[in-house]
Each structure stands twice: as C-alpha cells, then as structure tokens.
Structure 1
C-alpha cells in the first residue's frame, strides 16, 4: 500500500507545483496540456481506487476447535455428554469418549437434530464420525456451516461506515 501512497503523493505534489508555481511552466506542451492533465487526473483516480482495494480488515471466523460445543451422543441406548470439536458436510469429531471404529451412534447436533453416525477412527481424545444425514438434516447443516454466525460473508453494506473506516485506515498507515 505504501508504494501507491508514495506515487499518489508525488502526483499530487506535481499537480500543486504546476498550478502554483511558474518555475516549471515552460509552455512547450502547447495543445498537449489538456491531454497531460487528463492522464494525470486519470492516474489520480486509478491510484485512489487501488488504495481502496488495498484496505481489507482481518476476517473473523468461528472455528469449532477454538470453542467446541457440548452435545449428547447415544451409544447402545446410553447417553453420554461429549465435546463436538469439528464438523464438516460429511464428518464430525468428538472428544471425551472412547469408541471403537465401526460403532453405530446417534449424535444430537444443535440446529440439526439427532443424526445417525458411525465411528470412522478412534483418536487420542475421542473419535472421528461419519454422519448419515437425511436431506432435511443436510440442508440444515449447510445453513449452519455457511450462512449463520461469524462466517466471512457480506450481508449488508453501510457506505458511510465503510468510507469512515477507509479514511481512518489511510490516516493510520
């Protein structure tokens, strides 16, 4: 971003010096002054747009590993409270229980409901599960993963706040 700020500053200084001082007015450009002024202004606009593109705030995402959630599983009719540490479209990872591969369980996942699952592999602190989702549960899982919470997406834009933050970021660099 700094190189673009330097080029923008030098261009602005050149325009101001050309307007305020006769020291660099050699009058040799003739009719070409309008073309030079046009490309100078075009350069300024392009540099401003380039600087705006350079401003991007860090994205905030929710990771299950950062804040696992409590859930219940049923193994052979016995309820056990475990930690859900990761979930994808096809698998989940749980902590706090010792299960062997191939074990059939039912896991209660928030906003999805009770899901049939099988243990794919045993981990040091729990297990990795294969989820058997019906179409409604699959749709609910996709909504939960990609359209709710702190996903890095844009739902609305406040132009005033965007402009204020962009100017603040420009001033702080």
Structure 2
C-alpha cells in the first residue's frame, strides 16, 4: 500500500514543483537546474560509492560487521537513481542521502526497526580432520597391455 502511495504522490509532488519553480524562474533555468543536479549527483555518487566499496572491503578483511557499509552502498545507489530522475523532490531526497550524517541516521533508524536472527562471519567449526599434505588417496585399475586405447594418453598416464 505504501509503495502505491509513493508511486502516486512522488510524480504529483514533482509536477507541482515543476510548475511552481518554472513559473518563478522560467523554463530554461528550471531545466538547467535539473540537468546540473543530475551531473553533480552522478559525480558525487561515483566518488562516495568508491569510498563505501573501500570501507566494505576493509570490513571484510578485518572480519568486522559489513552491515553499515552495505547499507551505505545501497543508500548511495538509491541516491544515484533519485538524482538521475528529473525533479526537485527526488533531487532533494537524493542529495540528502549523499550526506554521511543523514545516511548514518537512516541506518540507525532502520537498524532499530529490523531484528536480525543470526549473523556469522568466517568458519563456524574448525575441521576435525586435517588432511595430510603428503598423502594422496586414490584408487587405480590395471589396464591389460593387449587392450588398445580409445583415445590419446593424457600427460598423467604412462606411454
């Protein structure tokens, strides 16, 4: 139900803002502002996305909880989609999601409302049996010498 309301409300808000802003500053300036926010937004999304990817890789290498870098990456991706969508309301929401403090507040708000059942990283139980590096276990079958091979021998067989 909320998604349906969003799909109805957001275009209505955008149309109203286009009419109001366009009537106040003119069509050319309105279109220029929309174009410039898309260009500036894509630049900011790219830079912040690269930084968050680095944070995510660092959390994996340090075996830390990657939830916040993943959430930040998702919010930056969503901000990019909003900034590429023409409109003042979507640009305002998209630009606000590029502010780290607002992303942090949104993450904390979402985390307070989501209950995680389990979270594990790495190996759960150490292997009880460590195979010996020096021993290769295998089965073999003698092939009679009088039998002709059906294909060329591989590098693993005797000639």
| TM-score normalised according to structure 2 size | 0.25
Structure number with the bigger relative contact order (C-alpha 8 A, sep ≥ 6) is 2
Query: If each structure's helix is expressed as a fraction of its own residues, which one has the higher value?
Result: 2
